[in-house]
Amino acid sequence: MAASAPSSAPRPLDPVALARVVRRLHAAEAPPWLHGEAARRMAERLSIVRLQPATIAAWAPKVGGGMDVLRQAYPKARLTAVEPEASARPAAVAQPWWSFRRASAVALAPADLPEAACQLLWSNMTLHGSACPQDVLRSWHRALAVEGFLMFSTFGAGTLQRLRDVYRAEGWALPNAPLVDMHDLGDMLVEAGFADPVMDQETVTLTWADATAALAELRALGGNVALQRHGGLRTPRWRTRLLQALAQGAGTADGRIALDFEIVYGHAFKPMPRPRLAAETHVSVDDMRAMVRSGPRNR
């Protein structure tokens, strides 16, 4: 059975462990290989979007990557990196976010990104690192202009099923934090104000020569930030048992280790605001301007 987190409640993540993982990912020279592969596959889905965005915000690309594929897909667009972690942002910004000089893309904090600042918001393989995905979706909705598009990828609830089976068989605590189910993510998009969400998924199977190599790759991808993980340090004897259990529970016929990763892709758009009608209805000037500007949908 896949481990999934309820859509309405914050995910049970250990904040200290999560901060440690984030620091390690930001210190790496490049995003993990699997993140780059997910970015490439998500970029192939950009062809469904008829809109040619003039402004793009890439969410947390220091960890998720994707800047190169965005530049290739939209060479004329203004591209802004939005980095939630201060360590990923430069100490000084050479030019404002709206500059036409694409060569030196800036990195902003989410709070510094103006409302309705982009026509495409791209987030690759970072949502699963959030304790409260719903808050992140609301931030994305705020950053998008009316009729703007959201495209994102994240780990789904089917990720590392065989690893969880190994831990369960050994009576150990969780090996990874519960992940949000694809269908729950679709519901969360609607709750955040998005329209026409489309969810898709695929399973990517990675194999390694042995269990030691598999554990090294898992560490490069992040780490165990589950609130209910084992609370103390593990011993060398336990690690030896883990390597043996992985070889037995996730081994292939040719002696390699195989683990599955469910990659979930989602896209949706930000619709024209719809005021609630009553006997007397008040509409803000900004909403009225957005409704006038939007016109026929072109996606």
User: b/e string for 165-195 if b means 16 or more Cβ within 10 A?
Assistant: ebbeeeebebbbbbbbbbebbbebbeebbbe
Q: Which candidate, 130, 129, 132, 150, places its Cα nearest to that of 141? A: 150
Q: Highest-confidence range of 2-6, 179-183, 231-235, by mean pLDDT? A: 179-183
What's the CA gap between 233 and 110, in Å, rounded?
A: 35
List 263's β-bridge partners, or say none: 155, 202
Neighbours of 128 (CB within 10 A): 22
Nearby residues of 260 by Cβ (< 8 Å), 6 or more positions away:
158, 159, 160, 161, 162, 203, 204, 205
Q: How confident is the model at residue 37 (pLDDT cuts 50, 70, 90)?
A: very high
Q: How confident is the model at residue 170 (pLDDT cuts 50, 70, 90)?
A: very high
Q: Which candidate, 1, 12, 14, places its Cα nearest to that of 168? A: 1
Return the DSSP state at 253: T
Give the domain 31-273+282-290 fold: Rossmann fold (3.40.50)
What's the CA gap between 241 and 221, in Å, rounded?
A: 22
What's the CA gap between 275 and 288, in Å, rounded?
A: 9
**For the segment 107-149, what is each residue's pLDDT rounded down to a tens digit?**
889 999 999 999 999 999 999 999 999 999 999 999 999 999 9
| pLDDT at residue 269, as a whole number | 94
Higher pLDDT, 99 or 47: 47
Q: Given a cut of 50, is residue 2 above it in pLDDT?
A: no
Q: Given a cut of 90, is residue 280 above it in pLDDT?
A: no
- Tokens describing residue 177: 């934090």
| pLDDT at residue 246, as a whole number | 96
- What sign does the CA torsion over 96, 100, 103, 109 have? positive
Residues 279, 180: contact at Cβ < 8 Å?
no
Q: How confident is the model at residue 293 (pLDDT cuts 50, 70, 90)?
A: low
Q: Given a cut of 90, is residue 49 above it in pLDDT?
A: no
What's the CA gap between 40 and 66, in Å, rounded?
A: 8
Amino acid at 130: S
Nearby residues of 66 by Cβ (< 8 Å), 6 or more positions away:
39, 42, 43, 58, 122, 124
pTM here is 0.84
- What sign does the CA torsion over 173, 5, 40, 118 have? negative
Which DSSP string do the residues of 170-215 spell out, in sequence order? HT---SS--EE-HHHHHHHHHHTT-EEEEEEEEEEEEEESSHHHHH
